[in-house]
Structure 1
Amino acid sequence: MLILALVTLVLHGALAGLFYAFSMSVMPGLNAVEPAQAEAAMRSVNRKILNPWLFVVFIGSPLAALATGLLADAPAAWWFLAAAAVNAVGSFLATVAINVPMNNALDAGTMAWKDYSPRWTTWNTVRTVACLASLVLVGVGLTQL
């Protein structure tokens, strides 16, 4: 149980860090160059980020929290289940419903950088906050094991 809980913690930390890095460095860096360069760079990033390591962290975080919650005894179980729910809504759902469609629009050339960047960054920050909240919930759950 402890190993699964620690894996859950690491996955949530990695995902929170990924989203944080985008909002705090990648997007400001891209905003500092010409829009055409920023669009080209982001299209490349969006293609390269789709790899097995992303999917392990992105899908693994809520699933690991769910599994840990289902296997743990109360009160720890509730903290892990809450982490799974917050991650599923704040990270997974936001990504699928908002960020990925915007990435697709940028890739298709139907959304300009000036429209894409502020909205994408706002929603990415929402994902960051959700993942940080999930990370805290997992941490609290660990103290209850």
Structure 2
Amino acid sequence: MSGVHPGHGQDLPPAGGFSEVRYRRNIPRRGPSGLVIFTGMAAICAFGFWRVAEGNLERRELKRENLWSRIHLIPLLTAESDRDAYRRTQAALKRESEIMKDVPGWKAGESVYNNKKFYVPPAYVLVPEEGRE
């Protein structure tokens, strides 16, 4: 050997042994536990889904109400459209007879075509000059 013998310059432990080595960290617990966090998130998600379901029901009810209001307004809107079309047709006939008053044999509103089977009188909307853009 290399001449190293016990008791000849080698360090030995002290007579009662070394003191205990503290290797654990003493960190205080901070914040909620995982179970508390999980329960809180589950509660928040449940509340959110409940609100989404309520919103879906409300939106569905509003759509139904809007549809039924349109269904009930169709007769009124159709009658208004018919009255407007009649008024415009009478005004167009009056304008035509005024414009063509000097043409002999001209009958306002009569078709200029020989075949009356497929003729549909035109429906137009006249826009005044100042209203055009």
Per the TM superposition, whether the score is higher than 0.5 is no
Larger helix proportion of the pair: 1
Structure (1 or 2) with the larger CA radius of gyration = 2
* Higher-RCO chain (CA-CA 8 Å, sequence separation at least 6): 1
